Amino acid sequence: MEPARHDEPHLPTPTLWPLGFAVGIAVVLVGLIVNPVWISSIGGLIVVVFGVLWARAATAELRGQAVPVEPEEGERREAGVGDAPAVPANVGEAAMPPPAPGERFPRNRFLEASTLGLGLLIGGIVTVPIAGFAVLPAFLGQKRHKVDLGPVTAFPEGQWFIATFATDPADAEVSRRTAFIRNNGIYKNEPSFTIISNRCAHLGCPVQANGPTADILGLKTVTEHTANGKLTLIPTVPAGFGCPCHGGQYDTEGNRTAGPPVRALDRWSFEINHGRLVLLSMYSVAKVDGTGAQAHIHWYGEAGPGEHLDGPEQWFYPLQPPHH
């Protein structure tokens, strides 16, 4: 009993390379939202590896390698029943015309490779510009604006001020910010300042000082015009800081003491330029040990409200673009 052979062409054995390639593309797309640096890079590596393996499998015949195929078996029947007389091998025409002189592979293989290459080229032309326009603007051309807060002598040692200022003179009202500033005195031969942002670490609501301000204290509110525009300094004596929206509470170093915030308040870096206090950029703080000039700040790059800075929770937040 011999199995009857069919004339259908044998197909290559199915592989997992296309599935791996698709998984890599999905990881890249998810990474663009979650973490373009690490997750998208891992997805890109998966795409490259499985893409190469898929291309090698698809072009195995072009490279002269035998493609493993599974034999096909038809219906078994008794030999000699219904068989047509065998045709001698030297009778009839050739199944395929002989290849032309110099032809290395059939036309169908050339078309297969050309279609695959053209598809990859078109995919790159369509995908790369879209991804670039969607992702790169947040990371390129970000200007940092220094903020002049006036002379250091305007900040008596140990006195807190609620400072309101514009970070960008061209968009004064839109870029207006508020910070809590205290002069800590001289530390290691340099002026020391505590400059805390009023952006709540929960959802970004404006935090207020928990204490009396200028009118109650009998102190004068100072209004100046600097290179960044209007600057207002309101004296205050805070026992801490509180968010009126959801009840988040912080101590005078910005550490969370109660409520839903997940970390301490952000801070501003600064420099002293020709005797004037100049703000540079904001950074985020997990917690602060100590107080004043001796405080040890556990700082990180600026993160959005509600984002954890340390521990495994930080892995679930997207990469932040640069801020000024």
Beta strands in the chain (DSSP E): 147-151, 160-166, 176-187, 190-197, 208-209, 222-226, 229-236, 241-242, 249-250, 256-258, 267-273, 276-289, 296-300
Tokens 């509110």 correspond to what residue?
221
Which pLDDT does position 1 carry in this prediction? 47
Q: 10 Å Cβ neighbour count for 112?
A: 16
For residue 196, give the nearest of 151, 162, 156, 152 by alpha carbon.
162
* pLDDT score of 103: 56
Indicate the burial class of 249 (C-beta count within 10 angstroms; 0-12, 13-18, 19 or more).
middle
pLDDT of residue 143: 64
Question: How far is Cα 176 from Cα 292, in angstroms, rounded to an integer?
Answer: 26
Bridge partners (DSSP) of residue 282 are: 268
Strands 241-242 vs 249-250: parallel, antiparallel or unpaired:
antiparallel
Structure tokens of 18? Answer: 């296309």
The set of residues, in sequence order, having a beta carbon less than 8 Å from that of 127 and lying 6+ positions away, is none
Residue type, 17: W
Structure tokens at 267: 């801070």
Q: What is the pLDDT of residue 242?
A: 94
> Residue 132 burial by CB count (10 A; 0-12/13-18/19+): exposed, middle or buried?
exposed
What pTM value is reported for the model?
A: 0.60
Given this model, what pLDDT does residue 171 score?
75
Splitting the chain (324 residues) into consecutive groups of 10 residues, what average pLDDT does each group show? 50 74 86 78 89 82 62 61 64 64 64 82 82 71 77 91 87 84 90 93 92 86 84 92 93 93 92 90 90 89 84 72 59
pLDDT of residue 12: 57
